[in-house]
Chains A and B, each alone.
Chain A
Amino acid sequence: MWLILTALAAVAATIVWYVKSPGDKYKLGILSLMLWGATIMWVVDHIMAFASEGGEFFELGTDATMLGVAVIVLALVVWTLTLVITDPKGVLKKIFNK
C-alpha cells in the first residue's frame, strides 16, 4: 500500500510542478523527484520479491497504509525544511531584517 500511496503522491507533486512551471519557486521539483526515487526503488523491490517469493504484490492493510502516510509526511517534512533553509521568496530574510 505504501508503494501505491507514494506513487500517487509523486504523480500529484509532478502535476503541481508542471502547472507551476517554468518557474520552480517552491522547489516542487525536489519533492517530485524524491517521491519518484522512492517509488522506483519500491517497484524494483516489489517485482524482485514477487518474482522470487511469490505471494501478494501489494501489501494491503492498516499497517501498510499507515507506512504510506508516514512516508509522504517525511517527504513533505524534508521539502518544507528545504523551503525554510533556502527561503526562495525571501520571507524569513524579511522577518529577520525587521
Chain B
Amino acid sequence: MACFLVPAGEAVVTTVVQKVIEHQGKKGGEAKAAEMKLKWSKRLGWLNIMLWGGSLLLALEHIWHGEIIASPPFLTAMKDATETSIMLHEIATVGVAMAVTITVIWGIMVLVAELKSRTAKVKVQPVRGGA
C-alpha cells in the first residue's frame, strides 16, 4: 500500500549523512582521515542508490495498482479509516523489513569490499629485509 515510504525515508537520512561525510572529506584536513571519509561517502552512495532506486520503482508499481493518486490524500488507503489502519500496519511490517534487508545486504557488500581492499593492501606491501 505504501511500504516503500520506509526505504524512501531511510534514503533521505542516508543521503544527508553521505553529503555531510563527503563535504568533510573534500574539506581536507589530515590526508588519511579525508581519504577514509571519501571512501565511506562512496560506500554510502551504494546504499542510497539501492534505496532511492528501489523506492522509485516500487512507487511506479503502486501507481500502476492505483494505490497512489495524483490528488490529495495521494494514497487511496487514506480515504478510509480501516484501510489506513491496514496501510500503517503494512508500513510497520513490510516497509521496515524492506529497509532492514536492503541495509543488511549493503552491510555485507561493505564488509566484502573492506576485506578485499585489506587483502589487496597486504599483497602490494613490499617485502622488507633480505640480502
A residues in contact (CB < 8 Å) with B: 2, 6, 29-30, 33-38, 40-45, 48-49, 67, 70-71, 74-75, 78
Q: How many B residues touch A, CB cutoff 8 Å? A: 24
Interface centre among B50, B52, B97 (most CB of A within 10 A): B50
Partner of B94, one of A36, A44, A67: A44
Stretch at the interface among B19-27, B30-38, B57-65, B112-120: B57-65
Partner of B57, one of A43, A44, A48, A74: A74
Q: What residues of chain B lie closer than 8 Å to A71, measured between beta carbons?
A: 57, 60-61
Q: Can you pick out 24 interface pairs between chain A and chain B where the beta carbons lie within 8 Å of each other?
A: A29-B49, A30-B53, A33-B46, A33-B53, A34-B57, A35-B57, A37-B50, A37-B53, A37-B55, A38-B53, A40-B101, A40-B105, A41-B7, A41-B58, A41-B98, A42-B61, A44-B98, A45-B94, A49-B94, A70-B60, A71-B57, A71-B61, A78-B53, A78-B56
Known: A30-B49, A42-B61, A70-B60. 15 other contacts (CB 8 A): A34-B54, A34-B56, A36-B50, A37-B49, A37-B51, A37-B57, A40-B101, A40-B105, A41-B3, A41-B7, A41-B101, A43-B101, A71-B61, A75-B53, A78-B53
**Shortest distance from the beta carbon of B9 to any chain A beta carbon, whole Å:** 14
How far is A49 from B89 in the complex, measured between Cα atoms in Å?
A: 13
**Shortest distance from the beta carbon of A78 to any chain B beta carbon, whole Å:** 7
How far is A43 from B54 in the complex, measured between Cα atoms in Å?
A: 12
Q: Mark B84-101, 1 if CB is under 8 A from A, else 0.
A: 000000000110011001
10 closest Cβ pairs, A-B complex: A34-B53, A37-B54, A37-B50, A38-B57, A33-B49, A38-B54, A41-B98, A37-B53, A41-B54, A44-B98
Once A33-B50, A37-B54, A40-B50 are accepted as A-B contacts, the answer to whether A67 and B101 lie under 8 Å apart by CB is: no
How far is A67 from B67 in the complex, measured between Cα atoms in Å?
A: 14
